[in-house]
Structure 1
């Protein structure tokens, strides 16, 4: 058998011998991945011979862990859905590819077998940016089924980019959750020395042994390998593209600091406790919703497009306390193009039955409808802020909550009441100063 992609080979030309990993052939070139990580193309006509030095593993041929059952340990269902934590080097592109099975992911962390009794499942494999509402609904039903069948907790592996969306969705779709559910990802792929998935999985396993009955994101709490944070799913966000401690709590403290050896420090005592109740998934969700961002020069006529296309709910990601352009402030308002005021468009949407909710691009802090005149104008147009308990929900959490609310009612006033109801601590009862940039 001749050389195949993935084999380590020596390519002999008339001038030199070049060693590298053979990549799939492109056109009239032999492509090698060198030890430096760079690719080199060699014209086929210049190649005198190719010698196989070492056979390589084909795509998907990764060592899988043999899952051993230890009945004395807590029973945890391990659901793999994709993401960097389930990747390996793809010789087709030189990048990483999502094709690890749950057993292959577990091979990166064999210590889990000494902590929990693992049952593996994989309903689908998808990058988080391709996750859909239907995927959320399927996961919510699967999590409920596993917990109702005797699992003591659930670990769900997921891509990190949109992980916080899924964490919020599962929180609302599992309203009477009685056991821990940990969402886990990795910022670095398993082939790298800085792979963070092993510690994240270990800490997630310890979280699932706790009495915290919440959907939580369990990821690195610092750039080193000291501990992870368990952050409430509706109060957590990815705040950096690549840092291992990218997931931070927003407007509250983490639920817990968890160490790989199992030590756990409770940082936030406001959490639901583990019970033996049954979980009833509630997966109704309205998909005709959107997040609309306001900014300098933003054209509010985009709202008309959403009205025309039958959208039932809009989250306006406004500035600071909830401002949108109005043209009603300052001393030179005559210079403001009145067509750029968002007020008439918001009012039109509300009059058409669309539920319009404010959120802030600042992420940290609350919105408030009464501090400035422009805020009062936006509030009077029908945009929801929250009067008695001004909202500090993240835009993404607001979006998920709005979809869940509109999946349960077509009544605009009822939807407003539900948006202002604090179901899962998504709205902080009080502001904690030290939670900022925690």
Structure 2
């Protein structure tokens, strides 16, 4: 596993530009290279591995970045670069503080990242960066930049373009295959396609084609930098478990986890600790983020500097208790009605202070615990509905809330169902339907000329790929 304690970041270096370049876009974008397929090269055996200077050399060779409408690009890189399968909450903290350090010097940020866990990092950054007033766009590739038909070139150029776009999209986003998605609404849907990411319950914030269409009605408002300056939260609790139900299979391990977690308020289980709400945690489980090689703080305040972690496996007599459990149930939030002992164990864990969140195994739709009797039982036990949140985001959000000092389990349950960063639709929005029963927030986009919620750039820049065509504003 990547040792985040050894992670450092290089100083930003401005990309090399032709001496005769005449720029019409003077916005500045910083690329934060964390690793991933986009910057990998094949080894002698054919397997892909990260290469430290590969992305920097390729960026200097991307001619589309010389276009006058593209922003000025600088690059900094993590050292060592990280395979995204090895990403940890400590890395999320480091990425957030790197953005904080350079926040005042750039108009937007692009984070190159491996695709396997990109949705988790995007969700984590969305919660870590409160009052974000600038674009933070995560992107990557299914094929390395050196591949003959790589998707990385278009993804990277487009992400840079949107991060330096004059119509600011002040959100943590994922750009992939012509679409800009809200990061905490995204999932990786396909491991074997260039169209790898989707946002099943939320329309794209922007799409690139012959023109650039921004769904302005979905973009979050830019906060007042004076009244609401950037705040960086860098505390995530790792004591969160995600469980997927399978009909009829043994759930002995889950029952053991619930039993261990329901005893988490007992000092005998964790040793001398401190109480958060009704849950005891051990100070030894908390790692100060200043020990993670954090860059010097830049703009904004930093809230909390810790990431709680379970103790080492050695000497652990039983399962380490979970402070939060996410259960992927069936349909709208259903489970077997035959397992009354399971409901009893869930109730006991919740009564002891464990937060239990219910998500669905369905990719689209939402959890409504009052739809069926089995879901109603979970609701009465005190389980929290994730609504239309993805399971990835629900787990990260729960980790984030558990890491915030002063929140009781009841506070966390309330916040889990609240919209903090656009990660969940309000119940009102989910109830608004058109005559066919389609929720309003999932309606197909109208043509740009027919809706005031779209912003379109039209034109046919012959020297740019079609998706980067530049022109005049025809709609606002």
| Pairwise TM-score range, normalised by the shorter structure | 0.7 to 0.9
Which residue of the partner structure matches residue 327 of structure 2? Answer: 316
Q: CA deviation at 1:370?
A: 1.2
CA 1:105–1:162 in 2, change beyond 3 Å: closer, same or farther?
farther
After superposition, what is the alpha-carbon deviation per residue over 1:60-91, rounded to whole angstroms, capped at 9, x for unaligned? xxxx9953498862111110011110111212
Which residue of the partner structure matches residue 413 of structure 1? Answer: 410
After superposition, what is the alpha-carbon deviation per residue over 1:96-152, rounded to whole angstroms, capped at 9, x for unaligned? 2111434134145232243121221112311111001000000011112222x3200
After superposition, what is the alpha-carbon deviation per residue over 1:399-431, rounded to whole angstroms, capped at 9, x for unaligned? 010001111145111111111111111112324
Q: Equivalent of 2:213, from 265, 269, 273?
A: 265
Which residue of the partner structure matches residue 179 of structure 2? Answer: 229
Structure 1: give runs of 5+ residues left out of the alignment: 1-63, 221-227, 328-337
Note the 1:262-301 alignment, pairs <5 A. Answer: 263-267=211-215, 269-274=217-222, 277=225, 278-301=229-252
CA 1:437–1:294 in 2, change beyond 3 Å: closer, same or farther?
farther
Larger radius of gyration: 1
After superposition, what is the alpha-carbon deviation per residue over 1:249-296, rounded to whole angstroms, capped at 9, x for unaligned? 12111000024x8x4201352212446724221111111111111111
Match of 1:257, SS state, is strand
Determine if the alignment matches structure 1 residue 243 to structure 2 residue 198: no
Q: Superposition RMSD on alpha carbons, in Å? A: 2.5
Q: CA deviation at 1:300?
A: 3.3
CA 1:88–1:363 in 2, change beyond 3 Å: closer, same or farther?
same
Structure 2: give runs of 5+ residues left out of the alignment: 1-12, 262-318, 431-437, 446-476
After superposition, what is the alpha-carbon deviation per residue over 1:357-388, rounded to whole angstroms, capped at 9, x for unaligned? 100110211111112111111111221127xx
CA 1:417–1:231 in 2, change beyond 3 Å: closer, same or farther?
same
Rounded to whole Å, the distance in 2 between the matches of 1:157 and 1:185 is: 5
Which residue of the partner structure matches residue 422 of structure 2? Answer: 425
CA 1:191–1:216 in 2, change beyond 3 Å: closer, same or farther?
same
TM-score for both structures, normalised by structure 2: 0.69
After superposition, what is the alpha-carbon deviation per residue over 1:276-334, rounded to whole angstroms, capped at 9, x for unaligned? 7242211111111111111112333323236241210011111111112231xxxxxxx
Determine if the alignment matches structure 1 residue 168 to structure 2 residue 168: no
Which 10-residue stretch deviates more, 363-372 or 231-240? Answer: 363-372
TM-score for both structures, normalised by structure 1: 0.74
How many positions carry a matched residue from both structures?
349
Determine if the alignment matches structure 1 residue 132 to structure 2 residue 71: no
Rounded to whole Å, the distance in 1 between the matches of 2:190 and 2:244 is: 20
Note the 1:60-79 alignment, pairs <5 A. Answer: 67-68=16-17, 73-79=26-32
Partners of 1:160 and 1:187 within 8 A in 2: yes
Bigger relative contact order, structure 1 or 2, given CA contacts below 8 A and separation 6+? Answer: 2
